């Protein structure tokens, strides 16, 4: 992109800085008020964990400087990616774990702990093989036990099956203490059961605190590590095993047993257990008194600074620097000598606050306030305060001014799905991401850029962009955004137009953007034919308002097939509209319009009633899926509507699936209550088109859900290894959360075979028939309509 002419963008106005540098009464009163406010801010921000990440970085530096050597008594037998590849399956047959244990015992291992889930049965022969091996170990093997939450949110215990527990003691492997996103400590034993942790098992004579706060100054890179496949093949130095304690666990990324810890970043769960055990062995279980001691020191520092008269900034700066350095030296010494970890950030922040207060005291003059006030008014009159983009009116004036001497090409960009991101992460996070996007856009072109709406930017160029240039711009702007630890993905659509006047060109670009949106296209140049398209949409909009009353809608049904038996077990009701004026209208056209004008509430109610009525009238014995729009949840009593459809038709509620979208789930609150009431009726809840919205593992694991439907866009591109990996991840996630996984858009046998191998339960698509009348069902009503599910996801990330 090229600039129309030199255009200087003002920096966004900083309200905080303007307030702090306003004229204040210079003297002790100001210093006391400012010190009190600084302390209040320090307490509040510390309480909300704002400074946790920074404090963690300082702690990591102390750990790195001490760098302790581990005892060497503990060896990690690693189920790594190479081991998984050579064995060729997961979970491994129990006989392989038996071979690992036998090999370790033969090599003289002192004790062996499995950080692996053995709470479910395998085949009798495989279970017996491991039970025999545990018996041969003679009580020197420990098996993992851990708490987890079931689908209802209740805490349950995963305990090895009795065949194994009879020959081995239990060892707790839960990881419960996460602070600021980092793992700092492990429970020494279960709080409600007498189950010691692996660390406690390996250090029976050591003093055992309630919680083992790990000393990350221990060099975990020096923990002896042996690949499981090397142990199985006998390619191991005997001296590395003899008289050692051994932890067997997984580091392979695909097994997801990984944690974020200070100093080392992401490490496997078994290494965390070893770190806790080494901490006990070295007598280094750390103590953390919280933030209060250093908060008190910070308060004392602020109070002393308020008592002192005005002092030269150089002297104040030197004193604060000396205090900060002294605090860090003291923290290092206490960690080294007594294992005491101090959070020093409050002292550093108090020192910074003292400097700021002194600086403000020196600079609090009316002229500066007046200058800032004028700058603020000038800025707000012409710019968006959050991003620095030109305001709507200022941008139009700028473009009209340029049109006096040259041509202007208007390029409009819309950021899609901001509402979904805002619902999941909050408005401030969204605005931060939008500000980053504007910075990228401005770096690509210094041309005048205006923020027309919260999700629309307009750029005025002196010549049109060719398709390759547009794709380059979109590709750079759609690179992920990092905001406060969140990774935000955006998707853009564009519209473009020549400009006779700024207002006309902007309206035409908006029309092109609207056409691209409704056609689900990347973007569009304005075409006069778009006016006819707009009139058509307006005509469709009017016709929709009376379509239900005139009985213009109908339903078709698409089969859903059990992927294990290939029997039809359910259908999804799909809406069709044949208008006397417009003929057959695509759902892709009229459904978005119905959601815009609110008629989707009436149409959705008709769909639910008619689908249930047809199912009963045709003696349909299988499952029935109906879609419910997010707008119905906010503008209608969905529970009453579904109850009415079931009551009037007599259709069994336990065979009804309610399909909702991801954007609805992210709203939480009343939506959760509504979904729970629908499930109380007996209906099941499914996420439709999963993977196309803003997904959050938080709501996915906590909401009342039963099914997960993978969007057909992923199926079309299964040949792409990345898409296949995404599908595999979604399937694994669904199964581990106890959800039935349905895949849409299956059109070929090759797709069916691959999806079946990935573990999908139910398939839907043209391979089994196009939407039409209710199909015949080949299985009785009382037969199970979905494959059995795997064990739900575990609290500590491990799996059997």
Alpha carbons 164 and 143: distance in angstroms, whole number: 8
Here the tokens at position 351 are 């020192």
Which one from 744, 747, 749, 790 is the annotated catalytic residue? 744
Q: Give the DSSP per-residue string, 589-640.
A: HHHHHHHHHSTHHHHHHHHHHHHHHHHHHTT--SEEEEE--HHHHHHS-HHH
Residue 86 half-sphere exposure, CB side, CA atoms within 13 Å? 13
Alpha carbons 97 and 533: distance in angstroms, whole number: 66
Phi-psi region of 153 (alpha: psi -120 to 50; beta: other; left: phi over 0): left
Q: Is the dihedral of CA 751, 753, 754, 755 positive or negative?
A: positive
Phi-psi region of 155 (alpha: psi -120 to 50; beta: other; left: phi over 0): beta
Phi-psi region of 181 (alpha: psi -120 to 50; beta: other; left: phi over 0): left
Closest C-alpha among 200, 196, 202 to residue 109 = 202
Rg (CA), the chain: 32
Residue 542 half-sphere exposure, CB side, CA atoms within 13 Å? 8
Is 60 catalytic? The answer is no
Alpha carbons 671 and 696: distance in angstroms, whole number: 15
Q: Give the DSSP per-residue string, 729-744.
A: HHHHHHHHTTPEEEE-
Here the tokens at position 568 are 């039809």
Alpha carbons 225 and 83: distance in angstroms, whole number: 13
Here the tokens at position 87 are 């064995």
E strand or H helix at 428: helix 427-444
Closest C-alpha among 90, 104, 184 to residue 142 = 104
Other CB atoms within 10 A of residue 36 CB: 14
Closest C-alpha among 384, 400, 392, 383 to residue 504 = 400
3-state SS string for 567-583: CEEEEEEEEEEEECCCE
Q: Is the dihedral of CA 147, 148, 153, 156 positive or negative?
A: negative
E strand or H helix at 786: none
Is there a contact between 190 and 36 (Cβ–Cβ < 8 Å)?
A: no
Cα 181 off chain centre by: 13
DSSP H helices in 25-75:
28-47, 52-66
E strand or H helix at 685: strand 684-690
Phi-psi region of 725 (alpha: psi -120 to 50; beta: other; left: phi over 0): alpha
Q: Could you give the residue numbers annotated as active site?
A: 744
């Amino acid at each position: 992109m090229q600039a129309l002419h030199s255009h200087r963008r003002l920096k966004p106005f900083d309200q905080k800085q303007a307030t702090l540098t306003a004229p204040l009464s210079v003297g002790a009163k100001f210093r006391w008020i400012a010190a009190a406010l600084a302390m209040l801010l320090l307490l509040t921000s510390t309480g909300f964990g704002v400074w946790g990440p920074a404090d963690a970085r300082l702690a990591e530096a102390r750990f790195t400087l001490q760098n302790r050597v581990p005892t060497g008594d503990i060896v990690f037998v690693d189920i790594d990616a190479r081991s998984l590849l050579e064995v060729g399956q997961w979970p491994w047959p129990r006989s392989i774990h038996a071979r690992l244990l036998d090999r370790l015992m033969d090599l003289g291992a002192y004790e062996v702990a499995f950080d692996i889930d053995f709470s479910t049965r395998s085949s009798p022969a495989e279970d017996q093989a491991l039970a025999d091996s545990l018996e041969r170990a003679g009580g020197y093997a420990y098996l993992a036990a851990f708490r987890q939450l079931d689908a209802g949110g209740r805490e349950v215990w995963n305990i090895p099956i009795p065949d194994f527990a009879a020959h081995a003691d239990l060892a707790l492997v839960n990881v419960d203490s996460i602070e600021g996103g980092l793992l700092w400590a492990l429970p020494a034993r279960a709080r409600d059961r007498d189950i010691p942790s692996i660390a406690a098992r390996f250090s029976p004579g050591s003093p055992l605190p309630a919680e083992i706060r790990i000393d990350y100054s221990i060099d975990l890179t020096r923990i002896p590590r042996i690949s499981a496949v090397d142990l199985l093949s006998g390619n191991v130095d005997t001296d590395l095993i003899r008289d050692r304690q051994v932890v067997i666990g997984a580091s392979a990324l695909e097994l997801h047993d990984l944690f974020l810890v200070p100093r080392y970043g992401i490490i496997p769960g078994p290494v965390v257990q070893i770190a806790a055990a080494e901490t006990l062995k070295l007598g280094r279980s750390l103590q953390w008194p919280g933030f209060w001691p250093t908060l008190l020191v910070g308060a004392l520092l602020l109070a002393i600074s308020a008592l002192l008269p005005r002092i030269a900034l150089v002297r104040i700066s030197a004193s604060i620097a000396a205090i900060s350095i002294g605090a860090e030296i003291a923290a290092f010494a206490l960690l080294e000598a007594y294992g005491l970890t101090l959070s020093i950030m409050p002292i550093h922040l108090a020192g910074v606050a003292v400097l700021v207060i002194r600086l403000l005291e020196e600079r609090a003059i009316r002229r500066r306030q007046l200058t800032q006030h004028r700058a603020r008014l000038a800025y707000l009159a012409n710019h968006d305060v959050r991003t620095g983009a030109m305001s709507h009116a200022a941008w139009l004036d700028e473009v009209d001014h340029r049109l006096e001497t040259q041509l202007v090409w208007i390029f409009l960009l819309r950021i899609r799905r901001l509402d979904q991101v805002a619902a999941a992460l909050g408005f401030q996070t969204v605005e931060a991401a939008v500000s980053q996007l504007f910075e990228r856009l401005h770096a690509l072109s210094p041309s005048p850029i205006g923020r027309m709406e919260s999700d629309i930017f307009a750029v005025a160029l002196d010549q049109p962009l060719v398709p390759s240039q547009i794709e380059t711009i979109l590709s750079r702007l759609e690179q992920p955004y990092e905001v406060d630890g969140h990774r935000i993905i955006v998707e853009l659509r564009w519209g473009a137009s020549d400009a006779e006047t700024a207002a006309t060109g902007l309206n035409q670009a908006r029309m092109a953007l609207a056409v691209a949106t409704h056609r689900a296209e990347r973007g569009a140049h304005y075409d006069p034919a778009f006016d006819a398209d707009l009139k058509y949409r307006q005509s469709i909009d009017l016709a929709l308002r009376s379509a239900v009353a005139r009985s213009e809608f109908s339903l078709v049904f698409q089969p859903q097939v059990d992927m294990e038996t290939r029997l039809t077990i359910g259908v999804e009701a799909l809406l069709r509209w044949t208008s006397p004026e417009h003929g057959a209208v695509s759902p892709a056209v009229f459904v978005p319009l119905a959601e815009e004008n609110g008629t989707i509430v009436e149409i959705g109610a008709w769909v639910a009633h008619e689908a249930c009525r047809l199912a009963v009238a045709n003696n349909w014995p299988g499952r029935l899926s109906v879609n419910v729009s997010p707008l119905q949840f906010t503008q209608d009593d969905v529970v009453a509507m579904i109850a009415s459809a079931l009551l009037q038709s007599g259709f069994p509620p336990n065979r009804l699936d309610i399909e909702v979208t991801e954007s609805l789930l992210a709203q939480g609150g009343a939506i959760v209550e509504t979904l729970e009431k629908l499930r109380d009726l007996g209906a099941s809840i499914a996420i439709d088109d999963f993977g196309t919205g803003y997904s959050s593992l938080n709501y996915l694991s906590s909401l009342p859900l039963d099914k997960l439907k993978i969007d057909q866009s992923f199926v079309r591109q299964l040949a792409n290894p990345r898409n296949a990996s995404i599908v595999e991840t979604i399937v694994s996630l669904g199964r581990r959360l106890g959800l039935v996984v349905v895949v849409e858009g299956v059109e070929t046998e090759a797709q069916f075979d691959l999806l079946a191998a990935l573990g999908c339960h139910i398939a839907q698509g043209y391979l089994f028939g196009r939407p039409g009348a209710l199909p015949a069902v080949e299985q009785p009503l009382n037969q199970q309509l979905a494959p059995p599910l795997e064990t739900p996801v575990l609290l500590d990330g491990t799996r059997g």
